[in-house]
């Protein structure tokens, strides 16, 4: 293994061993190794001259629900995806007694699937869906298997995923939880995020500690006062040991 990476992983291991209150602030890159593409790297999503941001937006949902759902069901709903080593290690650390808060921009539910219990989903989840009229709730399978635009069997209205679409505000409750977790933490690991989606990306500034690690395949320029680990998350987390 490359020497720098080796040294950095050892340092991260020490931070984790010494850490009491750990926050993982993650993005789409946490789930690429589960087979879910991210938005911004070379293999990310971009179709028909419309970016994912244009399609997964509040306006587009109402303007062209069929176009929205075609894209959303195909590119955002990976119901067979399994947690990878990063999701699993975080859950194992929690089980070993660490206080772990996961603040995720992902909507895939994989941290919970891995067993983590303290997950703040800043952008919602594909697993919760509500009728826009009567509020009845539906699971992801119902949406994925629906033909065209999913509508409510009870009242016929369109169903909307509980996902924060571009152009929609974050939930106040999640903002508050994320900020207080960051303020209390003594180790911040930022991973698999281009830090380009606001306001989510701005939250990391609420962390006041000095142990800050950024694990990402690119964007060294954003690392500032972080220890920057340019690597796949899986290659890092597979080396992290759980010490009870």
Kindly name the residue from 58, 87, 111, 123 that is annotated as catalytic: 123
Judged by CB under 5 A, the stretch of 34-42, 102-110, 113-121, 148-156 that binds Zn ion is: 148-156
Torsion of CA 195, 197, 198, 204, to 10 degrees: -30
* 159 touching Zn ion, by CB under 5 A: no
**Nearest distance from C-beta of residue 174 to ligand NAD, angstroms:** 13
* Identified binder of Zn ion from the candidate list 1, 20, 134, 242, rule CB under 5 A: 134
Active site residue 123: yes
* 28 touching ligand NAD, by CB under 6 A: yes
* Identified binder of Zn ion from the candidate list 131, 163, 189, 215, rule CB under 5 A: 131
How far apart are the C-alpha atoms of 76 and 58, rounded to whole Å?
A: 16
**Nearest distance from C-beta of residue 244 to ligand NAD, angstroms:** 27
Q: From the list ligand NAD, Zn ion, none, which binds 134 (C-beta under 5 to 8 Å, kind-based)?
A: Zn ion
Q: Residues interacting with ligand NAD, by CB under 6 A?
A: 27-29, 31-33, 36, 38-41, 44, 105-108, 123, 192-194, 196-197, 215-219, 232-234
């Amino acid at each position: 293994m490359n020497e720098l990476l080796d040294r950095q992983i050892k340092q991260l291991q020490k931070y984790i061993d010494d850490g009491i209150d750990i926050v993982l602030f993650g993005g789409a890159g946490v789930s690429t190794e589960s087979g879910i593409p991210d938005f911004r790297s070379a293999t990310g999503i971009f179709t028909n001259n419309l970016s994912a941001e244009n399609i997964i937006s509040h306006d587009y949902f109402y303007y062209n629900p069929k176009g929205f759902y075609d894209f959303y069901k195909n590119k955002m709903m990976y119901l067979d995806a399994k947690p990878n080593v990063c999701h699993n290690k975080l859950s194992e650390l929690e089980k070993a007694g660490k206080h772990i808060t996961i603040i995720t921009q992902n909507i895939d539910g994989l941290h919970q699937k891995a067993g983590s219990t303290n997950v703040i989903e800043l952008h919602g989840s594909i697993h919760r869906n509500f009728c826009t009229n009567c509020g009845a709730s539906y699971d992801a399978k119902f949406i994925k298997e629906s033909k065209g635009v999913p509508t409510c069997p009870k009242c016929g209205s369109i169903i909307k995923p509980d996902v924060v679409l571009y152009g929609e505000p974050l939930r106040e409750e999640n903002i508050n939880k994320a900020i207080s977790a960051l303020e209390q933490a003594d180790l911040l690991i930022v991973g698999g995020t281009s830090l380009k989606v606001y306001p989510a990306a701005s939250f990391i500034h609420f962390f006041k500690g000095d142990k800050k690690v950024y694990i990402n395949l690119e964007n060294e320029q954003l690392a500032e006062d972080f220890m920057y680990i340019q690597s796949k998350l899986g290659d890092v987390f597979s080396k992290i040991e759980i010490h009870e």
